[in-house]
A and B are shown apart, each in its own frame.
Chain A
Amino acid sequence: MQTSLTPRSLGQPGILSDVRAFQAILGREWRIFTRYPSWMIALFIWPLIFPMLYILTARALSGPDGSGLVVFMKTTGASDFIGYIVIGTTVWMWQNIVLWDVGFSLRNEQMRGTLESNWLSPTWRFSYLLGHTGPQIVSMLMFISITALEFGLLFGVKLHGSVWMILLVMLAAIPSIYGLGFAFASLVITVKEANAFVFLIRGLVMIFCGITFPISLLPGWMQSIAKWLPQTYLIHGMRAAAFSNAGITELLPDLIPLLLFGTFWLVVGYSTFLWMERRARRTGAIGQY
């Protein structure tokens, strides 16, 4: 008697097996994410307290009669200093969280001792990183929505632009933010302890990208560096979309560099991953920690 068995294992080569592997990783990451509800507390508290440090300092700089605020409005062209600061600090937090979450995803797996065994399965290995990225993007969308909600309800920050335009700018920034995360995740597997690199990258964003001020206030050489960082365009574009009612035409000077940087960082991220994969197989670094 013959039995026919349709093999449904991940070992079956082809696009479908890659999709199934991606789904499995996505499902696992989502389960881990929802298993630790304490993260939800951070989701509500961090969007509020991190910008507060800068907002309260801005309040002090305004003075009791608000004379400093008039100068700030004139310098920045902003109509709402809280909204202005919140957008900058939120972009900083976005990049920071991606570096810790996506950037350390493979490393955490390595520390748990499961990376090497997963690596042996006949799947598209890049799906390990992509699988981490899915729930991360969902949680970041929640994070940004909660930020908008909290500052809208508690501080009366009002949008003067289109939500769709804000989403468009964010969408254009996803490739560069996550591409950087992919490149970083691959490097971490090689150099192991990479906290200093996170501090360096988020430090660059903090100093050069104008999270609380317009970059026109920076000295010329610092402005030149700022132009090479995609977060500068993301912050500028989001502020324009949120508070100046900018349309696609006005946003193009931010959208085009974001897409170019995005392409660059995705290529760098993927190439670094391939390089790390080859190197790890040669040196056996996957199992070491």
Chain B
Amino acid sequence: MIARKDWKVFWRYPLNAVSNIFQPIIWITPIYFMGKAFSTNGQALGFAAYSGTGDYMSFILLGTVLTNYILTVFWGMGYALKEDMDAGVLESNWLTPVSRLLILIGRTLTSLLTTTITSLIMLAIAGALFGFKPTGNTLAAFLTAIPMLLGLYGFGFAFAAIVLLMREANTLVDVSSFLVQGLSGTNFPVQSLPYWLIPVAMMLPLTYGLDAVRGILLKTNTLLPINVEVVLLIVFMFAMLWFGSWFFYRVERRVRTLGTLGQH
């Protein structure tokens, strides 16, 4: 029911869908032209030395699509809670005899579907404009992305708990979203980061997800062997799901004790 309601709301504002398709293209256009300024005879040789591929636009486009999913799962639940708070329906929803985590997951199901639709259209348009040439096994890449996304649900639960506690977390969301995207290598291989930032990137599980998917689809150089990265992603998935739900229930109990659930 929650997913169906969100589906209806999303398509009531078709400009949002258009914006979801074109915003990522707008953001990566300066990178496309900047890449040309770094290229010799259309070859980004410097980029190839780090990543193993000179096709920097395919590299970035794949990162952009995965980022769309990361944003949906990672931040989507927290934003949904904030929306319910502002609309004044959170407390009444909370009184229903449904698992709180299920309510949160329900809020992301529609987003996942709409993200898939808009990302595919974005990829088609951006592919026509900039070129997108995956050469690897799409199914293997998809299966590799699944533990990453499930692990992100754990992150999402923990973040939703912070929203419950702080009630206003926009700056926190924007800044941390930008930092996580930047440091996990959405737009560039993390090997090119300054040496003091590489350990930070290596601590982010997303780094391995992006790296492994690119390694499979674009045959790029990976940080670790792909098998090891997949095992790390599976371990991270269980750890984050456990930690996220534990943290969420702990905070939720605290918020109920304080009686601040209805405030915003």
Q: Chain A interface (Cβ within 8 Å of chain B)?
A: 38, 41-42, 45-46, 49-50, 52-54, 56-69, 71-72, 75-76, 85, 88, 195-196, 199, 203, 206-207, 210-214, 217-218
Contacts and interface: CB of A to CB of B under 8 A. Distances in A.
Contact of B46 (A46, A69, A211): A69
Nearest to B29: A207
B35 interface: yes
Interface centre among A54, A56, A65 (most CB of B within 10 A): A56
Contacts of B92: none
A63 B49 contact: yes
Q: B interface, by DSSP: helix, strand, loop or mixed?
A: helix
24 contacts: A42-B175, A49-B182, A52-B182, A53-B182, A53-B187, A57-B34, A59-B193, A59-B194, A60-B50, A60-B192, A61-B38, A61-B47, A61-B56, A68-B44, A69-B46, A71-B38, A71-B39, A72-B37, A72-B38, A76-B37, A206-B27, A212-B34, A213-B33, A217-B33
Interface stretch (B15-23, B83-91, B205-213): B15-23
Contacts of A65: 46, 49
Contacts of B19: 195-196, 199
Contacts of A56: 182, 187-188, 192-193
A69 B34 CA distance: 11
Contacts of A211: 30
Nearest to B16: A196
Contacts of A62: 38, 46, 192
B206 to A, nearest CB: 15
Contacts of B44: 61, 68
Contact of A71 (B23, B33, B37, B56): B37
Contacts of B18: 196
B36 to A, nearest CB: 5
Contact of B26 (A42, A207, A213): A207
B49 A64 contact: yes
A215 to B, nearest CB: 9
B50 A217 contact: no
Which residue among B22, B30, B60, B188 has the maximum number of chain A CB atoms within 10 Å of its CB?
B30
A72 to B, nearest CB: 5
B113 to A, nearest CB: 22
B115 interface: no
B40 interface: yes
A217 B49 contact: no
Given A62-B192, A203-B26, 9 more contacts: A54-B34, A57-B31, A64-B50, A65-B46, A85-B34, A196-B15, A196-B18, A206-B27, A213-B36
A69 to B, nearest CB: 7
Interface of B: 15, 18-19, 22-23, 26-27, 29-31, 33-40, 44-51, 56, 60, 171, 175, 178-179, 181-182, 187-189, 192-194
Given A45-B175, A60-B189, A71-B38, A212 B30 contact: yes
Contacts of A203: 22-23, 26
B122 to A, nearest CB: 14
Contacts of A207: 26, 29-30
Nearest to B51: A60
A72 B34 CA distance: 8
Contact of A61 (B15, B35, B179, B193): B35
A53 B178 contact: yes
A142 to B, nearest CB: 17
Nearest to B13: A193
B34 A213 contact: yes
Contacts of B194: 59
Q: In the A-B complex, list the 8 residue pairs whose CB atoms are closest, starting with the nearest.
A: A63-B46, A68-B46, A60-B188, A60-B192, A61-B38, A68-B38, A203-B26, A213-B33
B178 A60 contact: no
A240 to B, nearest CB: 17
A58 B34 contact: yes
A211 B193 CA distance: 22
A68 B187 CA distance: 17
B29 A61 contact: no
A97 to B, nearest CB: 13
A53 B48 CA distance: 19
A53 B174 CA distance: 14
